[in-house]
Amino acid sequence: MKRRLLLGLILAAVALATVGVDSYGTAAARRVTKTHQFRCTDRNQSLYFLVYEIDGHLDRGLMYVENMQVANMSVEWAGTNFIKAKVNGNTANVAFLLGKDGNLMVANYTTSTRVPVCHASYAYR
């Protein structure tokens, strides 16, 4: 009787320890993914950008026209409120500047010019 009770307590302790380690491992491996969403609201209304952020770091960007994905983009911060999004495969020194304040521009880094594309709504989810 004492052996069964002792064996039961040992098995219960092992089961609880296993559950605790398993839930800790799952929580530690979970990555937080958020998106920065820019959608033109005044002109070029069919244009929008989606930038993925994983664990607080910008990961990749996508450009859509007429609800179809037209480009994959490499992204990085360009100052405090702007994201620089460069179309993958484009060899020109040109990128989109996506502003949290709604300013969307095309920046030519060779000639140091910026041209407004549209004013956009911004969402961070």
pLDDT in 10s for each residue of the chain, 125 residues: 555 544 454 545 555 454 444 445 555 678 899 999 999 998 888 999 999 999 999 999 999 999 999 999 999 999 889 999 999 999 999 999 999 999 999 999 999 999 999 999 999 99
| Shared domain check, 78 and 24 | no
- How far is residue 57's CA from residue 38's CA, in Å, rounded to a whole number? 18
Contact criterion met (CB below 8 Å) for 74 and 86 = yes
Q: Which residues, in sequence order, are bridge partners of residue 74?
A: 86
| Shared domain check, 43 and 88 | yes
> What range does the domain containing 92 cover?
33-124
**pTM as predicted:** 0.74
The angle formed by the CA atoms of residues 68, 90 and 83, to the nearest 5 degrees, is 70
Count structural domains, the chain.
Answer: 2
| Shared domain check, 99 and 78 | yes
| Shared domain check, 57 and 106 | yes
In the numeric block, the tokens 């296993």 are attached to 18
The angle formed by the CA atoms of residues 72, 76 and 82, to the nearest 5 degrees, is 105
| Shared domain check, 64 and 19 | no
